[in-house]
Amino acid sequence: MTSILTAAQQRYTTKAFDANKRISDADMAQIEELLRLSPSSINAQPWHFVIASTPEGKALVAKGTEGAYASNAPKVLNASHVVVLCTRMDIDGAHLQRVVDQEYADGRIANEAAKAANYKGRSFFLNLHRFQNRDVQHWADKQVYLALGTLLLGVATMGIDACPIEGFDNALLDEALGLREQGLSSTVVVALGYRSDADVNASLPKSRFSASQVITRI
Ligand SMILES: Cc1cc2nc3c(=O)[nH]c(=O)nc-3n(C[C@H](O)[C@H](O)[C@H](O)COP(=O)(O)O)c2cc1C
C-alpha cells in the first residue's frame, strides 16, 4: 500500500487504459467500501453508485459520451470498471428519516426520543438548503464530489489508475441507465483500470500552482 502523499504525487488522469487488464474482485470490493464510507454533511449520503464492469454495462455508460464528448468514449470502453456517481434527487424529510433510522439501527442513537431530537437538529440544515438557500441539489452534488475525491485518492494508494470524467451528456447517460425513474441523476463518472503503453499523459509532469499561491499560513 502506497502512502497517501506518494499516491497524490504519483496519481494522474489516465487517458488510455489497457483493455486487457482487469481490477480484481478483491480490489473492487475495497473500492465499493471506499465509496460507501465516504463522509457527507449531516451524513446525508445523497448518492448512488452504478458500477459497470461488463462490455454491455460500459457500452451503456459510453452512450453518455456521444457527440461533443466522444473523446471520453474510449476511456469508458477500455477501462476495467466504470463508476457513475449519481446524486439523489429526493433529499427531503423522508430521506433524512432514512438516515436517522439507519444511525439508530447502527447503534449511534440511544432511543426513540434521541432519534426525534436528532431528526429535528438535522432538519435545520436540510431545510436551510431546501427552503432558504434553495440549493439542495447543488449541496447534494457537493457531497457526491467528496466521494469522488475519496475514490480518486483511494484507488491511487492501491496502484489503480483512474480518469475522472465530467465530459458527458447527463441527459443521455440518465436515459441509458434509467436513472431518473429511480430518483437519481448522473453527476460525475470515473473510469478505473490500468494505463496502456499508449497513454501519453503518463509521462507528462504534474502541474499545479505553487504552495505560496494556494496556501496561506496564519
Ligand atoms: C471533476 C473532474 C472532471 C474531469 N473531467 C475530465 C474529462 O471529462 N476528461 C478528461 O480527460 N479528464 C477530465 N478530468 C481530468 C483533469 O483534467 C485533471 O484531473 C487535471 O488536469 C489535473 O491532472 P491530474 O489529474 O493528472 O493530476 C477531470 C477531473 C476532475 C477532477
From atom 26 of ligand 1, which residue's Cα is the shortest distance away?
12
Q: What pLDDT does 51 receive?
A: 98
From atom 30 of ligand 1, which residue's Cα is the shortest distance away?
164
Angle between helices 112-127 and 93-105 (to 10 degrees): 140
Residues with CB under 6 A from ligand 1: 12-13, 15, 72, 163-167, 188, 206
Model confidence band, residue 1 (pLDDT cutoffs 50, 70, 90): low
| Terminal C-alpha separation, the chain | 34
Q: Which of 6, 85, 141, 165 to mutate to test the pocket of ligand 1 (most atoms within 8 A of CB)?
A: 165
Q: Which of 12, 13, 163 to mutate to test the pocket of ligand 1 (most atoms within 8 A of CB)?
A: 13
| Beta carbons of 53 and 32 less than 8 angstroms apart | no
Q: What pLDDT does 30 receive?
A: 98
Q: Which of 119, 166, 159, 173 is nearest to 141 (CA)?
A: 166
Reading the block at residue 58, the C-alpha cell is: 460500459
Q: Environment class of residue 21 by beta-carbon count within 10 Å: exposed (0-12), middle (13-18) or buried (19+)? A: middle
**Catalytic: 142?**
no
Q: What is the dihedral of CA 37, 13, 206, 148, to 10 degrees?
A: -20
Model confidence band, residue 212 (pLDDT cutoffs 50, 70, 90): very high
Q: What angle do CA 187, 95, 138 make, to 5 degrees?
A: 35
Q: What is the pLDDT of residues 30-87, one digit of tens each?
A: 999 999 999 999 999 999 999 999 999 999 999 999 999 999 999 999 999 999 999 9
**Catalytic: 166?**
yes
- What distance in Å separates the CA atoms of residue 118 and residue 112, rounded to the nearest whole number? 10
Which ligand 1 atom lies nearest to the CA of residue 188? Answer: 1
Selecting among 58, 166, 175, 181, the annotated active-site residue is 166
Q: What is the mean pLDDT of residues 128-136?
A: 97
From atom 19 of ligand 1, which residue's Cα is the shortest distance away?
13
Q: Which of 81, 30, 31, 86 is nearest to 58 (CA)?
A: 81
**Catalytic: 75?**
yes
- What distance in Å separates the CA atoms of residue 7 and residue 178, rounded to the nearest whole number? 35
What percent of the chain clears pLDDT 70, i.e. is strictly above it?
100
Q: What is the dihedral of CA 94, 35, 58, 17, to 10 degrees?
A: 160
Mapped onto helix, strand or coil, the DSSP state of residue 51 is strand
Q: What pLDDT does 2 receive?
A: 74
Selecting among 75, 115, 181, 206, the annotated active-site residue is 75
Is the torsion defined by CA of 182, 39, 145, 158 positive or negative?
A: negative
Instruction: Compute the mean pLDDT over every residue in the chain, rounded to the nearest whole number.
Output: 97
Q: What is the mean pLDDT of residues 92-111?
A: 97
What is the 164 CA–ligand 1 centroid distance (Å)? 5
Fold of 4-91+133-214: NADH Oxidase (3.40.109)
Q: What pLDDT does 174 receive?
A: 98
- What distance in Å separates the CA atoms of residue 70 and residue 168, rounded to the nearest whole number? 8
Domain ranges of the chain: 4-91+133-214
Which ligand 1 atom lies nearest to the CA of residue 168? Answer: 8
